[in-house]
Amino acid sequence: MSNWRNYILQHFREPIHRLTLVADPDGLMLEEKLLVAIRRNGFDLLPFEDHIAFRYAYESGYRQHWDEGHDTDLVVILRSPSASLHSLPYDLLQSGRALTFSLPDLFPRLSYPVISELDPVYLQPLYDAYQQYDGPEMGDRASTLFVLKHVFGIVPDLVRTPADLLKLLLSRHARAEVVPVSLDALLLQSLNQNPAFEDWPLAALLRSADDFFAFLQARWPGYLASQQSAETLLKEPGADYVTGESLPFDDPDVRAYVDTFFLEGKLRPVALPASWRLEGWAQVGVEHDPEAVGLRRLTELLELLSEKLPAADAPYRDWTQYAVKWAEAVVLYHRFREKLDEAAASRYRVLHLKIEERFANWMLIRYHTLHSLPFMPKPIMVHQVPNYMAAYRRQHPDARLALVVVDGLALDQWRIIRDVWTEESQPWSMQEGTLFAWVPTLTPISRQATFAGTAPQFFPDSWGTTEREETRWHRFWAEQGTHPASVGYLRNLGVRNPDATESTFQGDEVGLEEEVVALLESAHTRVVGLVLNTVDNIMHGMELSTAGMHQQVRLWLTRHRYLTRLIASLVEESFTVFLTADHGNVSAQGIGRPKEGVLVEKRGQRARIYTGPAFAALAKGQSPTAIEWTNVGLPAQLKVLLAPQLDAFLDVGRHAVCHGGIALEEVIVPFVQISQESTA
């Protein structure tokens, strides 16, 4: 079967021209696999989005090299649907070859408004189906039905029973499918006509994985109750459960999904009265012995993770989904590791090393393409969050937005926070996702990029400090047309002493600072950026590895309650909150410190940064296993060495929780949208 990418790749088979200009209104050039193929053929890609940023990158990275006689094949991509290549600078138009690629060229008989909303990841199955189509041109409805059937496997008229709908939803959210709203509108229209679904919150279940899992969780006790006799329920009714017709959890196709969701922690076992009796498979959702359940989940989850380890050239989504599952395994392992036998503990350690080796290889092959990918429908890297927030604000002009960066929060530590909030039944709606941090995963680089809304290469004068962070945050929002008085920024929040590195907490709850309260209560404030340093402070004082981090994060959350109080205040003041981290952390072991004196610009435990290739080469000679990073997105003068796998530039044998490198736990961080829980 042919590949739609060949339609574009035929123009990039051999170096033809040092400068190629591409009008790409549908973002075809920024599809992940196509990006890799074009770069593999020797071409660099540079999107033309911000005039100033583009001119800086073009002049410093390409024009200068061409003037010096070096050959570099550059592709400039103009993505705006409303702009033509003639809007590019005159000097580019005079010297570049021009190309145009668009969806109508690939799918001339499908409705453009329908297919233009598809994520590029779905273009290949659509292209495969379209090659077999020889009928007339299709309108919006026919095109929508065509896409639903051939891309997502959905025929609306065939979804007739609760079992049919449940299988559809289970499949969608298990695979994290991104279905355009316009396609779901037609599906909703069909579903709403079926009285069997009148009690289902259909729109929320289709659009939100978190709402869907909450829906399943609420109805799981009802299913368990439906398996009991009337006499048993009368004698010992048990906890509250949804009455009425239960969901068909016992359908064979449904059971396989439900079992996996309990395994991955997306569904939680419930406690039941002792007199209730259940068939074997449903025991997976019953909390009869938390320790036994946890150990079984860990064993089965490690088997699943071993089988599903992504390939070194896998799409980035494979790794983000895998990272979430691995975070659950990390939490379980450190919660029950004292109960594990040596064989089980060894399986965990061996898998961990295998994961880090595979992910490091993937990072070296594919990471350089991520910053070029679009930030809609969801951001992929931390520096895209401000642009995503700005797009959200354009869609919701009256919204108040807050970016809360919990410095150093890894995905497994986010799971601790999420579980505590679930136990406390916090009245918030949370949509969970992930982001890639900037490498090296250090605060001045990745956190500054998060607030600047740009790659680190565009702040070459401040990559080693966070002092310009507030200025860059305000500059970004000023460029979006937001009044300066409406934008706030505060950092070093939630700690009595910002410089403290103690890894334990004393005392009771910590109230919000006066400046935080004033900022949130001000009617003028529309956008805020807030930095919480406590988790990073815990990490730098941690000597008890990951288990100690989990213990201290839970103590911080439950005893000091600062983060909970902050989120509650933000939600109460009608803010939509975007919670993330600039990097994660991992427990590593020392392999020795390079002896480099003043030659190193930044001494990290997992990363060393130099401003000269000779200095980096000297350090590499002392640490031959160190990884020479690709310098993607970084200021041109920097050279970076990273500690491999779970090693650190520390005294041999010393252990520490640290960051800076490309371990899975350091690079993929949480991205959670929090808002007032819907009462609908």
* DSSP assigned state of 381: B
Q: Using alpha carbons only, how large is the chain's radius of gyration in Å?
A: 26
Q: How confident is the model at residue 317, as a pLDDT?
A: 94
Give dist(CA 349, CA 207) in Å, integer: 37
| 298 within 8 A of 329, measured Cβ to Cβ | yes
Give dist(CA 452, CA 465) in Å, integer: 13
Whether 296 has a pLDDT exceeding 80, the answer reads: yes
Between β-strands 487-493 and 607-610, what pairing exists: parallel, antiparallel or unpaired?
unpaired
What topology is assigned to 371-584+665-676 in CATH?
Answer: Alkaline Phosphatase, subunit A (3.40.720)
Residue 338 Cα distances to 291, 295, 299, angstroms: 11, 11, 14
Does 426 or 82 have the greater pLDDT score? 426
Neighbouring-strand partners of residue 430: 674
| 170 within 8 A of 257, measured Cβ to Cβ | yes
Q: How confident is the model at residue 110, as a pLDDT?
A: 97
Q: How confident is the model at residue 66, as a pLDDT?
A: 65
Give dist(CA 373, CA 379) in Å, integer: 9
- Model confidence band, residue 286 (pLDDT cutoffs 50, 70, 90): confident
69 conformational bin, left if phi > 0, alpha if psi -120 to 50, beta if neither: left
* Averaged pLDDT score across all residues of the chain: 87
Q: How confident is the model at residue 680, as a pLDDT?
A: 42
Residues 6+ apart with CB under 8 A from 237: 273
Between β-strands 668-676 and 575-580, what pairing exists: parallel, antiparallel or unpaired?
antiparallel
Neighbouring-strand partners of residue 589: 647, 655
pLDDT digits (tens, 9 = 90+) for 43-63: 878 777 777 777 777 776 676
- The helix/strand count (H/E) of the chain reads as 28, 17
pLDDT digits (tens, 9 = 90+) for 539-575: 876 666 888 899 999 999 998 899 999 999 999 999 9
Which of 215-219, 223-227, 405-409, 542-546 is least confident? 542-546
Residues 6+ apart with CB under 8 A from 55: 89
Give dist(CA 226, CA 213) in Å, integer: 20
φ, ψ for residue 407 (rounded to 5)? -55, 120
* Domain spans in the chain, listed from the N-terminal domain onward: 6-101, 292-361, 371-584+665-676, 588-658
Q: Which pTM was predicted?
A: 0.89
pLDDT digits (tens, 9 = 90+) for 107-124: 999 999 999 999 988 999
Does 325 or 505 have the greater pLDDT score? 325
